[in-house]
Structure formats: C-alpha cells, structure tokens
Amino acid sequence: MGLVRGSQWVVWGGLAVLLYAGLANHGRDVKVALARLDGPDVRATLAGPDAAPAGSDLSAARLDPDVRDAGPVEKIALAKPEIDVTPLKAADECVLAQDCVDQYLWLVYERAPKMDTIKVKERIKVTAKTKGKTRTVIKTVTKLVDEDFTWKDPKAAQKAGMSSKDYVIGGMDRGFKARLYRLFRALDDAGLAPGMTSGFRDDYRQSIASGNKAATDSSYHGGSRRGGYGHGLAADVVSVKGATRSERWLSTEILWKWIDAHGNEFGIGRPYLNKDPPHIGPIDGKEYAAHRRVKVKYAGG
Ligand SMILES: [Zn+2]
C-alpha cells in the first residue's frame, strides 16, 4: 500500500507543477481552459455539482481567478482529494467559463447582418393573345426578395420572457456551444470572420422563420420535439468579411467550404450542404446522420 500511496503523491506533485506552469501565464491559461471546455473533465463539472468527480475539481481550480495569486502549495491543497471543495464553488467556476463562451458566441451572433434572400410567389395579371383574342389571365411568378429578419429573435425572446442573449445563446446545448466556440475561433484565425445568423429557436420562432426550415416543432435549433430550450443543436453561419453584400457572399462561400474541409476536427458539419448552406450541427448528431448518411466518428468531446 505504501508504494501506491507514494506514487499517488508523485502524481499530485506533477499536477502541481502543471498547475503552476499554467497559472504563471495568465492569458494563455484562460485560453487553455476554454479550449478544454469540451473535455470530459469539465463537461462533467458543467453537468452539475452532483456529477463532479474529484478529478474535475482540478479543472475548477485551474479556472479560479482567486487562486491565481496563491503559491503552488495552496494549489496542492485544493487538488488533494481529501480536502472538500464545495460543489457550489465548482459550479461557480463553470458558470464563469460558460459565460466566457456565451459572450464570445453572442458577439459572433451580434455582428452578423440578419439578411436573407427569400422566394416570394406573386400572382399577377397578364394579357395574353390566343387565337386572335386578347384575354387577361392570372399567372404566378416567383420573385427573389431581400428579407431583414433582425427583429425575429428579439421578438421570440421577449415572448419567452428573457434577454436576446439568454434566448439565442442560452438555448443551445452546452457541449455544442463548446464546439462552436472552437470552430469560430479557428475561423477567426483563418481570417474568415464568422457570423452567426441563428442559434436557438423555439417553436414560436420557427413558426415565423422563412426560407429553408423544418416543421415548427422539429427544428434542431431547439424545437419542442428536439428537447426545446437548452438543447439547441444547430446554428446558421455566414462570413461577415467584406464591405458589400456581394463581397460577404463570396467570403461566406469560402467559409462554408472551409467547414466542409475542416469541420470534422471540431465535430461540426453541414448536414444539408447546399440545400441549406448556413446550417451546421454536430457530426455525431441525429440530424447529420439522417441527412449525410455517413457515420463519422468524432474523437473529441
Ligand atoms: Zn439552420
């Protein structure tokens, strides 16, 4: 037993060094912590105080801004399994990290113009000449019309009694948001300036959506048949790079192709490809499996 106990201390000692090294560099530490958000440890912590095993307390300690100035000795104390780190404290840390992810996703959402080109059917009267007779007939023509849907999410949020941020971002699945965060950061690094035009949508929001859309309760954006608020597993993305709409359209097409090429690394793909190009979701989710008919194993969180 003595040997086991001894090796345990070696492990804790090693972790203390890691913690110390991580905490010595502030900015990087936060980045690493966020990058690790979808790792199994933090996920377990995010799932709630009951689900937090001793191991996840380490991640929590790493995120704690109050602990940063303390020496490595205190950090060992926090990491020791016999010291009680209250569940409430662990939960607080997760909220802090989740807030950080939510804030970033909100900025990505806010900066995207909410403009769509939709098809509108119109019945018009035309004069037709048949067999020398002039007659007026009704013809149906399809027009492409620009639609500004900026007002739709705020209206749905108001109906649900929450802020637009709590609605659009808060309604999405946490694990999915961690993946979105990593994907958007990578797109930003690649110079493609991602913008999110839609996140969570409830049945009401879905009912006032235009263009490509699922039945009111069946949207993976968060329809009631898919679990509703907190379970949104879809987002619509474009690129906001470019001064004019046609420039943004070009960079948006490049962004979609980038996701097709690299999305797997982030566990995200476009289930409908060009049938609904901005729509993305987890590649190991039901929607992707149903429409791409490819079983992709995602190795990450
Ligand atoms: Zn969508």
Structure tokens at 27: 């900015």
Contact 224, 202 (CB under 8 A): yes
Question: Please, what is the Cα angle at 217 between 101 and 183, to 5 degrees?
Answer: 25
Whether 92 and 16 map to the same domain: the answer is no
Residue 13 and residue 161 in one domain? no
Distance (Å) from CA 236 to ligand 1 centroid: 5
Distance 279 CA to ligand 1 centre (A): 4
Strands 194-198 and 133-148: unpaired
Could you tell me the residue range of the domain that residue 83 belongs to? 55-115+149-292
Q: How far is CA 10 from the centre of its chain?
A: 39
pLDDT at 244: 92
Residue 134 to residues 77, 129, 131, Cα–Cα distance (Å): 94, 4, 8
Ligand 1 geometric centre to CA of 232 (Å)? 10
**27 lies in the same domain as 174:** no
Going from the Cα of 164 to the center of ligand 1, the distance in angstroms, rounded, reads 17
Cβ neighbours around 208 below 10 Å, total: 15
> Is residue 121 in some structural domain?
no
Scored b (16 or more CB within 10 A) or e, 19-54 reads: beebbeeeeebeeebbebbbeebbbbbbeeeeebee
Whether 130 is in a domain gets the answer no
1/111 same-domain check: no
Q: Based on the structure, what is the number of domains in the chain?
A: 2
Cα 21 to middle of ligand 1, angstroms: 42
| pLDDT for the residue 43 | 39
Q: How far is the CA of 295 from the centre of ligand 1 (A)?
A: 21
Instruction: Give the Å distance between the CA of 214 and the centre of ligand 1.
Output: 9
153 and 34 in a common domain: no
Are 106 and 210 part of one and the same domain?
Answer: yes
CA of 145 to the centre of ligand 1 (A): 19
Residues 224 and 81 in one domain: yes
Domain check: are 30 and 165 in the same one?
no
C-alpha neighbours within 13 Å on the C-beta side of residue 5? 2
Residue 246 and residue 100 share a domain: yes
**Distance of CA 270 from the midpoint of ligand 1 (Å):** 10
Q: How far is CA 300 from the centre of its chain?
A: 15
Q: 237 with 195: CB under 8 angstroms?
A: yes
Q: Is residue 5 part of a domain?
A: yes
pLDDT for 119 equals 83
Residues 59 and 34 in one domain: no
Distance 261 CA to ligand 1 centre (A): 19
Rounded CA-CA distance 273/202 in Å is 23
Indicate the burial class of 264 (C-beta count within 10 angstroms; 0-12, 13-18, 19 or more). Answer: middle
Burial of 200 (0-12, 13-18, 19+ CB in 10 A): buried
Model pTM score: 0.63
Residue 79 alpha carbon to ligand 1 centre in Å: 42
User: What pLDDT was estimated at residue 115?
Assistant: 87
**From ligand 1's centre to the CA of 233, what distance in Å?**
10
Beta strands, E only, the chain:
115-130, 133-148, 194-198, 235-239, 268-269, 279-282
Distance from Cα 280 to the centre of ligand 1, integer Å: 7
Instruction: Specify whether 26 is located in the same domain as 68.
Output: no
CATH number of the domain where residue 184 is located? 3.30.1380.10
Q: What is the 126 CA–ligand 1 centroid distance (Å)?
A: 37
214 lies in some domain: yes
Decide if 240 is inside a domain. yes
Q: How far is the CA of 169 from the centre of ligand 1 (A)?
A: 14
Q: Output Rg (C-alpha) for the chain, integer angstroms.
A: 25
Is the residue at 178 inside a domain?
Answer: yes
Q: What is the Cβ-side half-sphere exposure of residue 15, based on CA atoms within 13 angstroms?
A: 21
198 alpha carbon – ligand 1 mean position (Å): 7
Give the Å distance between the CA of 29 and the centre of ligand 1. Answer: 33
Tell me if 129 is assigned to some domain: no
Question: In sequence order, what DSSP letters do the residues of 98-142 get, joined into one string?
Answer: HHHHHHHHHHHHHTS--EEEEEEEEEEEEEEEETTEEEEEEEEEE
3-state secondary structure of 242: coil
Q: How far is the CA of 297 from the centre of ligand 1 (A)?
A: 22
Q: Is residue 44 part of a domain?
A: no
Give 10-residue mean pLDDT values along the chain (301 residues).
Answer: 44 44 42 41 38 39 42 43 48 65 95 88 88 89 90 97 98 96 94 97 94 86 96 97 93 98 97 94 92 64 53
Q: 63 with 194, same domain?
A: yes
